[in-house]
Structures are given as C-alpha cells and as structure tokens.
Structure 1
Amino acid sequence: MRILESCDNFDSDAPPLIESNDTYRFFYRKRRRNFHVAALNPGMPGRELLHCGSIHRTELLRGAHFRSENVDHLSVEYVQRGVLQFRQEERGYELSAGELFLLHPRRRGEFFAVDGSCLKISLLFNGQLLPELLRESGLAAIDAIASVNVAVLESFIRDFETLSLEHGSEAERKNGVLSWRFFQFLRAPHLPERPPAQLAGFERFCLEHLADPMITVGDMAAACRLSESHFIRLCRQHFDATPYQYLIRLRMQVAAKLLLSTDRMPVKQIAEQVGYRNALHFSTEFKKLFGLSPRQYADREQP
C-alpha cells in the first residue's frame, strides 16, 4: 500500500452513469468485466444488530471508476488481484493484491482500477450496532489495511458465500455471529489463524451462562478443557481481548438487542439477564461500548 500524492485519476470530466435512490448515489465510469452478487437472506430486513447483506465479486476493466455517497453501510473491499486506487474524502491510496480498504458509512469514497486485471471482493455490513462497533474498535479511523492474513480473510469470504445459500431465521442468526467474528478479525487482521477447536465452545458457554454474575475465567477455561494461562493466551491471540473483555462484549450485544425488542423491558431487568446485579454498573459498561446510556440508546433507535 502507498499513499497517493495526486488523486487526478478520480477527477475525470467523463460523464458518469448514475444510479440513485433516496438514500445514496452510485457513480460508474466505464464497464466492469464481470459482476456477481451473493445476497445473504435476500428479502429479509436483517434483524441482527450486525449483519452482512451481500458479497460482490467484481472484475474491473482498466479505468473503471466507482464513487459512493451517503451510504448507510460499511463496505469492506478486498483487492484479490491487480492494483486499485482508492480515495476516501481527501485521502488517496494505491492498494495491491492482498490488501483491504474500508468505505465508511456517510463518507464519500471512490476507487479507480489502474490495470485491466483487477478483481475485488466487497462485503457490505449494516445493522444498528455498526456505528458503535466501528467507533469502539477504532476501525472508524482506518481507511486501508495492508497487513492482512489472506488465508483467514478468504476463509471468512467462503463462509459468507456458503451462508448466502441458506435462508430463514437460523441463517440470519448465523450471519450475525459470523459478522461479529469477522469484525474481531478486522481488529487484528494479521493474526496467524482462526480460533482453534479448543475455543469452539467458549462463546456458547458464555451465552448459556450470561445471567450468572459469578462466572469466572476459570469456569470459561474449564468449559474449553484448558488451563487458565493457556486459555487466556489463546483469547488474546485470537480475539485480541481477555476472556472477560470478550464476555462483556457479548453481554452488551445481547443487552442492546433486548433494549430494541418490541416488548421493551426495564433496564434493571435487562441488566440482570446479562449478569449484572447492579444496574448502574451495567449502564456504565454499556456506555463505554456504545457511547450512550441504555435508555438513550433505546430512545434513539425507536421509530
């Protein structure tokens, strides 16, 4: 990856072909060679707080130019082959195969194909958790990612494409879980491998015991049949978090979903359901992640 000193390629006077609706506008110049969309759970509204709506595989001709404005999703763009120039707001980059860039919600972003052999894969994410997750993870301040474990990234892509063949509420739940794990990967995309089999039951154990305020790291390690020290090391290595930090993230995810449910429960009751006897302590932890108190979060998301 290199930073562009000039963004002249993005300032062509050629008339664009425009596609638009009330929320966003796309501008295209020149043609794509091939374009394939795998929609995940097509036609469903996406009830998960974080979900991948579709994957696009696009083979671009030399000089292909795309610009987006005022979109409400995050587009994770993976350059699988060739060279692609990318600009977000006023910052420009040139990326090669194996590198990522992020087209952020509500920002002007565009890319330009430098050669005729460029193949990129786009993963589009949305959901009520997206703005807070981008902020809390630090990804909101990142435009491009050069150091990526390509084998892990392409494994995620295959999983999303496989999921696009499934439909219904169970597929939607899987989408939410896979999207959450993908964002954990984006926090530290250089990590050597996906979580090993020893950690396969960690998240399930946490969700099953979410209401237990006395759950300990020892309990989590025992559920995975690991020593505490080895378990903590694996969590740091594969989740970029301590076991307890990971548990808190899961608790806040579930709490946010409960706050937005149709039969809205009192904050104190929600706190108890996710393992907090003290509602004030729960509210403090919730605000650390989302930047809003539970009541503010629920009120803001009401139609």
Structure 2
Amino acid sequence: MNNTQPAQGELSVMFSGEGKTLSGHGIGPAVHNYYLMHTVVSGRGSFEIDGRRYDCSRGDTFLIFPDELFSYFADDAQPWHYVWVAFKGHAAGHLLLSLGLSPSSPIVHTDELRHLTSLYRKIRSTFERTSFPELADLEAGGHLRVLLKEIGMLNEGKLIVDSLAILPDIDRQIKRAVRWLSYQYAQPISIEQLSRSLGYHRTHLSKMFKQVTGVSPMQFLLKVRMDRAKELLNEQSHLSIDQVASSVGYPDALYFSKQFRKTFGYSPSEYRAQARNG
C-alpha cells in the first residue's frame, strides 16, 4: 500500500507490501532514491549490493540503500515470499548506521518471524483503513520505528551504542559529534561550543574529526545542509528559497545561495527548475 501523504521529516513510510514471486523474478541492477527493506517469509533468493552477493532465505531481512547499485532475484526452484517497506527521511541513514546497518552490512536474520511480519502488516493496514492520510503517515511511522527497533535488537554485536565501548575515546567523541551535527544542522552551530561540550580544544577536535571522517567539522556540516537543501528544493515546491535556507541553518538566503552554487555549480533556483523539468 502507498502512503499518499508522506511527511518530509526525519522518517516516513512511502509504501509497504507483501508478495510471492515467480521463479527467477528479479529487480536490477538498479538504484533507488529511498530505503527499501525486505524480510523473507519463505523460499529463497539472492541479493547483491556494494559489490557483494548474499543468499537469503526464511528469516533474512535485506536492506537497499539510496543511490547504491543493487539487484535481487528469486530462486528458480523455491522463489521467495517476502514483505517489504520503503521509507525515507533525513535521519534514516544515521539511524540505520546506529543499528549496525549499512551497504557493507545489509543483512539481519531471525528464526522468529511472527512479530516482524505483524509489524509489516500493521504498516500496510494503516493505509488501507484511513480517510486521513496525514494521520496514517504518523501511525505508519510509529510502526516503522518499532520495526526498526526489532531489527536493531536482532543485529547483535553491530549496534553503535555497543561498539562505542571498545573504541578509543576520541573515536567515540567524533561519532557523537557526527550524530549531533547530523541532527542539529538547522540550528546555529558553533564548532567552538561543540568542542567545549566534548572536552577538546577546537583545533584538536577538528584535526581528529578530519582524521576519522576525512573532512573537517564545517565541511561535514556543509554537506549535511546542502544535501538536505536539495531534498527540500526538489520535494517541497511550496517553500521559497528563503524558507529553504532557513530550514537548513542559513538565516541569510543570499549566503545560502552562494554556498549552494559553490557546492553544486548552480543556484538553488536553477536546481529547482532542473528538477521540475527532469
């Protein structure tokens, strides 16, 4: 079932479904611009992402990530039956990473499917029985969060909250800084204040941040803001350029436009026009 009024916030369901495939049925190689999670109820098949192939069967959940080339095919002898949910949101990537899920680690297994399939069913039924799409979006998002929590519980040994304990102190602090910048990008952010809150001098934090992530804190923040700005320009046509700028942490729309052009090679207005015509 499709969500006719998906929100543009941190996490929202786009559609959900269930299906039994034919022998050899396949998708890809292809790329999506959203997250798509399948859980295999019966049968088997293969899934490929990030250059790796995984053989999946009953109890396996596999996750497709935006802008990652993927393919999946049902087995000829025992084609799979699976349930799925597609979602997006500016917090989704970091949330999944905290659950230990990434293009290089996209599989989770359980021997007990009943609770997971029940949550998928609740997501689907939310859109089948409502006359108020906005309320359905809220309810489906709640079920999705519970589903992701259950997936995270299954992903033993890979949760960031657990793995942080065995990392050096600076690595733990950098991961916290990354998470903070990713969620607070719309607020006035001072790297000096962030450094003090983590107990490091700004110069030292910036040096270690770049060593761990490959970019400086301000470069990371700029990327988060610019990527979010692209989403808003493409998906929220009712927002003015000034409103988009404010939504990603730039009270000065002119400065925002200069940063956008410097990053992508065209202005926010030109990008919006291209997106509409494309």
Q: Which residue of 2 aligns with 1:208?
A: none
Q: CA deviation at 1:95?
A: 1.8
2:141 to 176, 182, 189: 176
Q: CA deviation at 1:121?
A: 1.5
What is the TM-score of this pair, normalised by structure 2?
0.56
Q: Which residue of 1 aligns with 2:44?
A: 83
Equivalent position amino acid for 1:92 in 2: R
Contact kept in structure 2, 1:148 and 1:190, CA below 8 Å: no
Contact kept in structure 2, 1:79 and 1:95, CA below 8 Å: yes
CA deviation vs aligned residue, 1:58-106 (integer Å, no higher than 9, x gap): 2211121211422121211111121112222332222222221112222
Please state whether the residue corresponding to 1:46 is helix, strand or coil: coil
Q: CA deviation at 1:178?
A: 2.6
Q: Which residue of 2 aligns with 1:51?
A: 12
Please state whether the residue corresponding to 1:186 is helix, strand or coil: helix
Q: Do the aligned partners of residues 129 and 83 (structure 1) sit closer, same or farther apart at CA in structure 2, a change above 3 Å counting?
A: same
2:150 to 182, 185, 194: 185
1:148, 1:48 → 2: CA distance?
A: 33
Q: Which residue of 2 aligns with 1:130?
A: 92
Q: Do the aligned partners of residues 64 and 129 (structure 1) sit closer, same or farther apart at CA in structure 2, a change above 3 Å counting?
A: same
Number of equivalences: 198
Q: CA deviation at 1:153?
A: 0.6
Kindly report structure 1 stretches of 4+ aligned residues shifted beyond 3 Å: 265-268, 278-284, 291-300
Gaps of 5+ in 2: 163-175, 199-208, 210-214, 234-278
Q: CA deviation at 1:148?
A: 5.0
2:97, 2:118 → 1: CA distance?
A: 26
Equivalent position amino acid for 2:60 in 1: E
Q: CA deviation at 1:182?
A: 2.2
Higher helix share: 2
Q: Do the aligned partners of residues 62 and 46 (structure 1) sit closer, same or farther apart at CA in structure 2, a change above 3 Å counting?
A: same
1:161 to 117, 124, 127: 124
Q: Which residue of 2 aligns with 1:144?
A: 107
Q: Which residue of 2 aligns with 1:112?
A: 73
Q: Do the aligned partners of residues 173 and 82 (structure 1) sit closer, same or farther apart at CA in structure 2, a change above 3 Å counting?
A: same
Please state whether the residue corresponding to 2:154 is helix, strand or coil: coil
Q: CA deviation at 1:179?
A: 2.4
Q: Does 1:301 align with 2:228?
A: yes
What is the TM-score of this pair, normalised by structure 1?
0.52
Contact kept in structure 1, 2:40 and 2:57, CA below 8 Å: yes
Provide the aligned C-alpha RMSD in A.
4.2
Q: CA deviation at 1:283?
A: 7.7
Q: CA deviation at 1:299?
A: 5.1
2:26, 2:139 → 1: CA distance?
A: 34
Q: CA deviation at 1:259?
A: 5.6
Equivalent position amino acid for 1:135 in 2: L
CA deviation vs aligned residue, 1:171-219 (integer Å, no higher than 9, x gap): 222233332232222212279xxxxxxxxxxxxxxxxxxxxxxxxxxxx
Q: CA deviation at 1:110?
A: 1.4
Q: Do the aligned partners of residues 94 and 281 (structure 1) sit closer, same or farther apart at CA in structure 2, a change above 3 Å counting?
A: same
Contact kept in structure 2, 1:49 and 1:128, CA below 8 Å: yes
Contact kept in structure 2, 1:84 and 1:111, CA below 8 Å: yes
1:75, 1:47 → 2: CA distance?
A: 17
